[in-house]
Amino acid sequence: MTGRVFDIKRYSIHDGPGIRTTVFFKGCPLHCLWCHNPESIDRGVELMHWPSRCSRCYACIAACPPGAIAKDAAGAVVIDKKKCDLCGKCAEACLYEAMQMVGFEMSVGDIVREVLKDRIFYEQSGGGVTFSGGDPLTQPEFLEALLAEFRSRGIRTAVDTAGIFPPDLMARIAALTDLFLYDLKFIDEARHREFTGVSNTVILENLKRLAAGPAEVWVRIPLMAGVNDDGNVGATITFLQSLRTIKSVGLLPYHAGGKEKAKRLGKESYFRTFEAPSDARLAEIEAAFRGAGFDVQRGG
């Protein structure tokens, strides 16, 4: 069995406890306007262009079968996305990695071999493997096969998800998962739809079910100034307190790295630029969650 991923990061310390390897899946049903991994939303392979790396050797132009790459009046390389067939010949020809194909097929065995390279660090630190994205539940059969394989090998697993999937699928994944990193953006349904493109009704219901199940759940909250760092904070605290079993909360202040990656994909118009809450406001939010009895971590 194979699946499509776009990155694997070893020695990760922000995607669950201990030292971990994080596998990033392609595909996400949400379209958050602040997404820091915009290359993860589309399930398909994409072409990312890094102008800052370009030497203007124009090998990519010569290598492009459909003629989708040219140079403008200033000599800069430009890509006609309508002509591009994502064959990858430009990336093969580029010696400077200015052209990069995002998304590649890996088998369960491929990922197992990569993850097991650092098994000693998981055992010493209480870490393991984390499946992120995008959202790994967009490829459910592949995710289930990986979770089952790592459970059989005694490697602890974590799944980072937005939770907008059928309850029966969530239950199947929960039966194989040690830890969920559960993204929670808004409590208000209308605001969630405005900024992510989807309702949060299923997301909140699935979180209730997971909180009552055997897997541990950490909630992670991206924070944008003037967007969800206001009354949403109190509403989130009230909601999480009602679940009783959730004690760990990660606060993720906005950063603009995703907007730059979206520009390299030619998709910058699909996203917006936000601001992180001030340090003073972040301290207030942390204090509010701690005062409500939660363990709080900033940045993970």
Q: What is the pTM of this model?
A: 0.94
The mean pLDDT values, 10 residues at a time, for the chain of 300 residues are 96 95 98 96 96 96 97 95 95 96 97 97 97 97 98 97 97 97 98 98 98 95 97 98 95 94 94 96 97 91
Residue 243: predicted pLDDT = 95
Common-topology check for domains 2-43+103-298 and 46-102:
no
Nearest residue to 128 via CA among 20, 25, 217: 20
Do residues 143 and 159 lie in contact, with contact meaning Cβ atoms separated by under 8 Å?
A: yes
Do residues 160 and 133 lie in contact, with contact meaning Cβ atoms separated by under 8 Å?
A: yes
- Looking at CATH, the fold of the domain delimited by 2-43+103-298 is given as TIM Barrel (3.20.20)
Q: Which residue type sits at 62?
A: A
Task: Tell me how far apart the alpha carbons of residues 210 and 182 are, in angstroms, rounded to a whole number.
Answer: 10
Non-local (6+) Cβ contacts of 18 within 8 A are 121, 122, 125, 126, 127, 128
Task: Tell me how far apart the alpha carbons of residues 104 and 89 are, in angstroms, rounded to a whole number.
Answer: 15
What CATH number labels 46-102?
3.30.70.20
In the chain, where the domains are located: 2-43+103-298, 46-102
How far from chain centre, in Å, is Cα 262? 14
Collapsing DSSP to helix, strand or coil, 101 comes out as strand
Residue 275: predicted pLDDT = 96
Do residues 139 and 27 lie in contact, with contact meaning Cβ atoms separated by under 8 Å?
A: yes
Residue 299: predicted pLDDT = 80
Non-local (6+) Cβ contacts of 213 within 8 A are 171, 174
